[in-house]
């Protein structure tokens, strides 16, 4: 399984754009990049997934360069409610994926 | 529709006692996962069930931990002779099955061993 590295914490202010970068240097050809969000006292929640270039949904955008050795989760105009831990995972798509490594994630604190 | 549910939401037990934690996955989901999360830490994988295949138990920390999934639906995680280091939030997740990258998590069971 590809190991991921991301910052332990980030601070931001309401209305700003937040970019969280994740490194996954040994990503394999069939791996997909997935991000989860976890609020205090709740289980993680899937937010976005991609393979290459750019993916956008109603919550976030995911930018993946051509070499796929890193990815950047972009949260536009964050609010206080975006304060959470964000996990980057690399998953093998189409196969059995049991042992997911969530790591400690990036703790995002949004201030007023 | 109904999401993943877990019970109890909180459990306080004495050291040495056995505990059972229950997970009800989303109907129709063939894959089920158990994780645990200690305070301020990331998620630690415990066990994974996929359909009728043999479960992936590679994350279970000791032989005091076991899990079963009856009828391909409800799952029970059992911890025997609990220790204080077992105190954590135990999270269950389900997903539609092979090839699906999205896991749906339950609210967790907070276990405190005194």
Residues B3, B24: contact at Cβ < 8 Å? no
Q: What digits encode the pLDDT tens for the residues B90-105?
A: 999 998 876 666 889 9
Mutate one of B103, B107, B108 to test the A interface: name it (highest A CB count within 10 A). B103
Provide, as residue numbers in chain B, all residues whose Cβ is less than 8 Å from the Cβ of A93.
99, 101
SS3 content of chain B, % helix, strand, coil (to 5): 5, 45, 45
The DSSP symbol for B9 reads S
Tokens at B44, concatenated: 């630690």
A–B interface: beta-carbon pairs under 8 A: 64
Query: In this complex, do B42 and A43 lie within 8 Å of one another by their Cβ atoms?
Result: no
**How close A78 gets to chain B, by Cα (Å)?**
23
On whether the CB atoms of residues A106 and A19 are closer than 8 A, the answer is no
Residue A100 has pLDDT above 70, yes or no: no
Closest approach of B109 to chain A, Cα-based (Å): 10
Q: What are the chain A neighbours of B98 within 8 Å (beta carbons)? A: 94-96
The 10s digit of each residue's pLDDT in A9-55 is: 999 999 999 999 999 988 888 888 889 999 988 899 999 999 999 99
Confidence (pLDDT) at B87: 97
Residue A94 predicted with pLDDT over 70: no
Q: What is the 3-state secondary structure (H, E, C) of chain A?
A: CCCCECCCEEEEECCCCEEEEEECCCCCCCEEEEEEEECCCCCCEEEEEECCEEEECCCCEEEECCCCCEEEEEECCCCHHHCEEEEEEEEECCCCCCCCCCECCEEEEEEC
Q: Rounded to an integer, what distance in angstroms lies between the CA atom of residue A13 and that of residue A83?
A: 10
Q: How far is B74 from B60, CA to CA, in rounded Å?
A: 19
Q: Number of C-alpha atoms within 13 angstroms, CB side, residue B106?
A: 28
CA distances from A20 to A33, A42, A44 (A): 13, 21, 17
pLDDT of residue A61: 97
Say if residue A93's pLDDT is above 60. Answer: no
The reported pLDDT for the residue numbered B52 is: 83
Is some CB atom of chain A closer than 8 A to the CB atom of B5? Answer: no
Query: Which of B67, B76, B82, B75 is CA-nearest to residue B112?
Result: B82
Task: Name B7's Cβ contacts closer than 8 Å, sequence gap at least 6.
Answer: B21, B22, B24, B109
Tokens standing for residue B37: 């999360």
Question: Structure tokens of A48?
Answer: 């976005």
Does any CB of chain B come closer than 8 Å to the CB of residue A34?
yes
Least confident range of A74-83, A89-98, B66-75: A89-98
Q: Is A91 on the interface with B (CB under 8 A)?
A: yes
């Amino acid at each position: 399984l590809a190991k991921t590295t991301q910052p332990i914490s980030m601070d931001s202010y309401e209305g700003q754009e937040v970019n969280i970068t994740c490194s996954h240097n040994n990503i394999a050809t069939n791996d997909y990049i997935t991000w989860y969000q976890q609020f205090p006292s709740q289980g993680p929640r899937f937010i976005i997934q991609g393979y290459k270039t750019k993916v956008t949904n109603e919550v976030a955008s995911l930018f993946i360069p051509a070499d796929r050795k890193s990815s950047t989760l972009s949260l536009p105009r964050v609010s206080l409610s975006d304060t959470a831990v964000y996990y980057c995972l690399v998953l093998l798509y189409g196969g059995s994926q049991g042992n997911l490594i969530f790591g400690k994630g990036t703790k995002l604190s949004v201030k007023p | 529709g109904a999401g993943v549910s877990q019970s109890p939401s909180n459990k306080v037990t004495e050291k040495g006692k056995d505990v059972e934690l229950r997970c009800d996955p989303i109907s129709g989901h063939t894959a089920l996962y158990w994780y645990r999360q200690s305070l301020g830490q990331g998620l630690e994988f415990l066990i994974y069930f996929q359909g009728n295949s043999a479960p992936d138990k590679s994350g279970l920390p000791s032989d005091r931990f076991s899990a079963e999934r009856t009828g391909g639906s409800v799952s029970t995680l059992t911890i025997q002779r609990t220790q204080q280091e077992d105190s954590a939030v135990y999270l269950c997740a389900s997903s539609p099955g092979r090839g699906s990258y999205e896991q749906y998590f339950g609210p967790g069971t907070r276990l405190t061993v005194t």
